[in-house]
Amino acid sequence: MRDILVTNASRESDLHTDESRLYVKVGSEFSKHKTVKHSAGEYVRDGAHTNNIENYFSIFKRGMKGVYQHCSEKHLQRYLYEFDFRYNSRDISDFQRAEICFKGAEGKRLTYRRTHYREAAQA
């Protein structure tokens, strides 16, 4: 768990976790570490909660099981970028979401390369 956190999150971040012992030591490596104790029915304390990340993972897991059904580690980051976009734009209109999407594609060109077929033909 530590390797994942320190590789992907800024050490200046405030870390909000549940009471799992996995986070005790690594929590000291971040700016602040606040916990909530789910086992005692506590879900928010002093502004700390895990609701956002639990919501994100719920949407991600549903999408991966229901829509995509398989994701190799090689492409995992691409799927995460897509779900980041979905989650971060969930409170705006479809029109606004489309505008942001098109703006992100501006100046980029999608191509279809037949590398797989060329390699097969050369074999």
Cα 111 to chain centroid distance, Å, stands at 27
pLDDT given for residue 31 in this prediction = 92
Q: 30 in a domain, yes or no?
A: yes
Q: 79 in a domain, yes or no?
A: no
Q: Is residue 16 exposed (0-12), middle (13-18) or buried (19+ Cβ within 10 Å)? A: buried
Query: What global pTM score does this model have?
Result: 0.63
Q: 55 in a domain, yes or no?
A: no
pLDDT-derived band at 123 (thresholds 50, 70, 90) equals low
Instruction: Write down the mean pLDDT value for the chain.
Output: 86
Question: How many percent of the chain have pLDDT more than 90?
Answer: 28
Q: 38 in a domain, yes or no?
A: yes
Residue 16's domain comprises 1-49
Q: Is residue 120 exposed (0-12), middle (13-18) or buried (19+ Cβ within 10 Å)? A: exposed
Domain count across the chain: 1
Could you tell me how many helices (H) and strands (E) the chain has, helices first? Answer: 6, 4
List pLDDT tens digits, range 49-106.
Answer: 998 888 988 988 888 888 888 888 888 888 899 899 988 998 999 999 999 989 988 8
Contact 33, 27 (CB under 8 A): yes
